[in-house]
């Protein structure tokens, strides 16, 4: 015996086998292949297991032998408190978890920390596959996960060669919202965007910054707005773009407060998420601006809270739960060894409610 640690003696399949005078294989079969042994022996084994408080085959050993652990790693771009503050993210996650559960797979979280990001946990984690949720392409997690050579599915971004991506037509969505506002007669539009890059910038965005957007979703939505303006023959340079470092109501409210305080205040704001739009509503209320009379606002995602907002939000709808489930389905297929390719982009549609109206 090489090891000398003296723990309270673990109960294993072997212990049970010895106790009952059967082979290890039979005890294993009692758990995994009930048809391989008589019902009587099986009950006997399970009873004795309970007596010895043996909780079943060790998941790690089983995993090693079978080549599967039963969990999937989820890579997140932010600390947990932020990552789940967006109801849209939660809906996606819910769909994902639901789908994974059909194969008994759990979700293991890997959240980015603002300071000193360390990918070692990703490198050493026991998982059967990965979901990359909206990361920038140069994120350390992405590299680490790719190196593992395991099944991997991307949710929204970044596009990765060889990995299926589940996304929506962001450009079309943003264009829909933009053209809706232009059709209403708005002249002065602003965009409230979430992260263009991972540097924590907030507030007005310079033209240079717009050239170097590293978050693909942000870039596509921005392009959608430009396309909408172009369709109406407007000059893209008139567009005012402001950025929040976090996709949540409070950050948005702060940034929106500045935006609405400007002399050249816009008459309509295209927001890249419902959370951001809710923030604009808050800021508008604080500034005694009436929505939609003084200000039109559009959201993106069509979360439950968009419909419940005051006023209810006009927003770009996307199938959140279903897309989450789609990611799960693809990943499960990959884990089963099937080969899959990226599905068509999810459909978007404009849900018109009462946060938009012609300018006064």
Q: CA-CA distance, 264 to 280, in Å (whole number)?
A: 16
Binding mask 215-254 for a second copy (x = CB under 8 A): -----------------------------------x--x-
Query: Which residue lies nearer to DNA by CB, 123 or 201?
Result: 123
Shortest distance (Å) from residue 117 CB to a second copy = 11
Taking CB under 8 A as the criterion, which residues in 275-294 touch a second copy? 285
Query: Which residue lies nearer to a second copy by CB, 63 or 343?
Result: 63
Taking CB under 8 A as the criterion, which residues in 149-208 touch a second copy? 149
Query: Which residue lies nearer to a second copy by CB, 117 or 231?
Result: 117
CB pairs under 8 A, 24+ apart, for 193-197? 193/218, 193/221, 193/222, 193/241, 193/242, 193/243, 193/244, 193/272, 193/276, 194/218, 194/243, 194/244, 194/246, 194/247, 194/272, 194/273, 194/276, 195/243, 195/244, 195/245, 195/247, 196/222, 196/243, 197/136
Query: Which residue lies nearer to a second copy by CB, 19 or 250?
Result: 250
Checking phi first, is residue 230 left (phi over 0); if not, alpha (psi -120 to 50) or beta? alpha
Binding flag, residue 322, a second copy (CB under 8 A)? no
Question: Which among 290, 283, 287 has a CA at the least distance from the CA of 356?
Answer: 290
168 in Cβ contact with 320 (< 8 Å)? no
Is 7 exposed, middle or buried, given 0-12, 13-18 or 19+ CB atoms closer than 10 A? exposed
Residue 93 contact partner, candidates a second copy, DNA, none, CB within 5 to 8 A by sort of partner: a second copy
Binding flag, residue 312, a second copy (CB under 8 A)? no
Interface residues with DNA (CB under 7 A)? Answer: 1-5, 10, 12-14, 21-26, 28-29, 31-33, 35-38, 41, 56-58, 60-62, 64-67
Residues that bind a second copy (rule: CB under 8 A) add up to a total of 53
Question: Which among 127, 173, 150 has a CA at the least distance from the CA of 299?
Answer: 173
Shortest distance (Å) from residue 53 CB to a second copy = 6
Shortest distance (Å) from residue 106 CB to DNA = 17
Q: Which of 14, 25, 64, 230 binds a second copy (CB under 8 A)?
A: 64
Binding flag, residue 104, a second copy (CB under 8 A)? yes
CA distances from 261 to 62, 126, 244, 295 (A): 62, 51, 16, 13
Binding flag, residue 79, a second copy (CB under 8 A)? yes
Q: CA-CA distance, 284 to 99, in Å (whole number)?
A: 40
Which residues bind to a second copy, rule: CB under 8 A?
53, 55-56, 58-64, 69-71, 73, 79-81, 84-85, 87, 90-91, 93-94, 97-98, 101, 104-111, 113, 120-121, 123-127, 147-149, 250, 253, 285, 304-305, 308, 310
């Amino acid at each position: 015996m090489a090891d000398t640690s003296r723990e309270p003696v673990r109960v294993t399949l072997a212990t049970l086998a010895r106790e009952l005078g059967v082979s290890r294989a039979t005890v294993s079969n009692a758990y995994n292949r009930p048809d391989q042994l008589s019902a009587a022996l099986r009950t006997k084994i399970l009873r004795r297991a309970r007596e010895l408080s043996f909780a079943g085959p060790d998941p790690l050993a089983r995993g090693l032998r079978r080549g599967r652990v039963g969990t999937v790693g989820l890579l997140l771009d932010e600390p947990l408190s932020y990552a789940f503050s967006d109801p849209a993210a939660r809906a996606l996650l819910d769909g994902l978890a639901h789908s994974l559960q059909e194969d008994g797979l759990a979700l293991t979280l890997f959240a980015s920390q603002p300071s000193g990001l360390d990918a070692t946990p990703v490198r050493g984690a026991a998982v059967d596959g990965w979901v990359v949720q909206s990361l920038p392409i140069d994120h350390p997690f992405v590299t680490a996960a790719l190196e593992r050579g395991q099944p991997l599915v991307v949710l929204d971004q970044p596009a990765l060669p060889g990995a299926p991506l589940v996304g929506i037509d962001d450009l079309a969505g943003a264009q829909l919202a933009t053209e809706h506002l232009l059709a209403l007669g708005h002249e002065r539009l602003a965009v409230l965007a979430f992260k263009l890059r991972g540097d924590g910038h907030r507030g007005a965005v310079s033209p240079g910054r717009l050239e170097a957007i590293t978050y693909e979703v942000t870039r596509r939505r921005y392009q959608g707005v430009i396309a909408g303006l172009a369709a109406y023959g407007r000059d893209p340079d008139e567009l005012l773009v402001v950025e929040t470092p976090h996709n949540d109501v409070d950050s948005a409210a702060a940034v929106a407060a500045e935006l609405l305080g400007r002399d050249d205040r816009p008459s309509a704001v295209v927001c890249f998420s419902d959370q951001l739009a809710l923030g604009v509503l808050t800021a508008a209320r604080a500034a005694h601006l009436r929505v939609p009379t003084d200000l039109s606002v559009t959201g993106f995602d069509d979360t439950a809270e968009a419909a419940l907002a005051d006023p209810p939000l006009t927003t770009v709808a996307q199938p959140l739960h279903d897309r989450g489930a789609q990611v799960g389905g693809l990943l499960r297929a990959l884990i089963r060894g099937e080969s899959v390719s990226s599905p068509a982009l999810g459909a978007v549609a404009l849900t018109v409610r009462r946060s938009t109206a012609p300018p006064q």
